[in-house]
Structure 1
């Protein structure tokens, strides 16, 4: 028996349809032919897969790879390109279950974000003050994510549409080129998003829309045991260096212009 066979039998039952009614009235095929798909004795061709997908409003990817019986269909978040974010899972007290992407395997997230088995195997925590949404914890890396540093985790709430992004709010961007990054959203300009680091040592930059895999809005943070807020002063020093560098560049440009003007006068 295949996942697909189990899924279509389950979905048909949820709609209260007999095999005959579903085959003849919806798929326009014989009951005998359909029964072979449901028993796993035969594989459905593309045109039948498309009809089943449209009727139940569930992507073909989901029908073929995920045991839908495990998840409440109304809670599954489906993305336009058939990728999925698994449904909100709660514990016995009703608290959301938050998957933790491990530090050592963060790059593996790029290949596992759409794999239900990968997501299911992630460790989970619950925080009672995070409700009404899908949350996931991502590792902070480097010094471009203050006040987060190595060993910290940034908890994000899944953003279903880029239209929901708000200027000056912080987000976790999962992209093809940079992987996982924590940035502040500046604005959208055509087919790119402008973002910046809270560490002003790093310049703002643009992210092409076609490189974006997922976006999660900052919701909370988990800091390591040795975290000290005063460490943030290190970033102020970098800010000062960045400002000095900018002032030197402006001065250099101004001197260059003066030299050019002087040469023109002597010609």
Structure 2
């Protein structure tokens, strides 16, 4: 099923353009835009290419997806193209969180920008979350103690890389390392990278070029699937104390330069 007619009309409204205004932008007549929006005719391949270039949205997204539920903020840019990135809501218009299951986490790298893949993910509602687009990711391994293997981290999508705060934890979808959860130092202004740090100090920190970061989600809350033992809680308190101290010392070092 093609959604082209109502998508052209909706995208035009997002741009606050009249039919005549869009026609001028695309180099066609107003009547042609009207005929497409009213489904009296179908756009040619040439016109689809112009629409894709103008709105910076892939042709298959325009043809196969209903974009009328998306506001302007429901799109993100990837490689100079915009893809559908809706905030999912329930019948009460409350935000829903897509949950990336453990078994599907390996495939997230190839499906993160596919609306059909995202639409198939299970969804939960956490009404106490702040505004924004959230998604839940599974944690593997012990690099971010006290976060246990099997826990889920709920992150808020970060669109502007200038909003990355050193010392905060993020879920990152990277080109070469897949999906990782790390504490981040923002070194973009210095060398164009992010330094990824494990709270478990047996793991070494490493750098990732910012142009290899496909998605970035700032920690909002975690969902533990296992109970902590008393000993684990003691260890986690010690780890958090030293982790926080390290961040404070680095901030102090920068101010003294």
Shorter-chain TM-score tier:
0.7 to 0.9
Structure-1 residue corresponding to 2:44: 43
Q: Which runs of 5+ in 1 are unaligned?
A: 239-267
Structure-1 residue corresponding to 2:89: 90
Cα distance in 1 between the residues matched to 2:176 and 2:22? 45
Structure-2 residue corresponding to 1:125: 124
Instruction: Render the CA deviation track for 1:6-52: whole Å, top value 9, x for unaligned.
Output: 4114445776845xx36754433246765469556453316x63357
Cα distance in 2 between the residues matched to 1:6 and 1:171? 37
TM-score, normalised to structure 2, is: 0.76
CA contact (8 A) 2:146 2:236 kept: no
Cα distance in 2 between the residues matched to 1:233 and 1:164? 33
SS in 2 for 1:145: coil
Q: By how many angstroms is 1:226 displaced? A: 3.5
Q: Which runs of 5+ in 2 are unaligned?
A: 240-257
Structure-2 residue corresponding to 1:143: 142
Cα distance in 1 between the residues matched to 2:167 and 2:154? 18
Structure-2 residue corresponding to 1:59: 57
CA contact (8 A) 2:2 2:64 kept: no
Q: How many residues align?
A: 232
SS in 2 for 1:148: coil
Structure-2 residue corresponding to 1:160: 159
Structure-1 residue corresponding to 2:197: 196
SS in 1 for 2:220: strand
TM-score, normalised to structure 1, is: 0.73
Q: By how many angstroms is 1:228 displaced? A: 3.5
Cα distance in 2 between the residues matched to 1:199 and 1:179? 19
CA contact (8 A) 2:12 2:22 kept: no
Structure-1 residue corresponding to 2:133: 134
Structure-2 residue corresponding to 1:7: 7
CA contact (8 A) 1:135 1:156 kept: yes
CA contact (8 A) 1:146 1:232 kept: no
State which drifts further: 119-128 or 23-32.
23-32
CA contact (8 A) 2:151 2:225 kept: yes
Q: By how many angstroms is 1:66 displaced? A: 2.7
Structure-2 residue corresponding to 1:113: 112
Cα distance in 2 between the residues matched to 1:194 and 1:64? 40
CA contact (8 A) 2:197 2:206 kept: yes
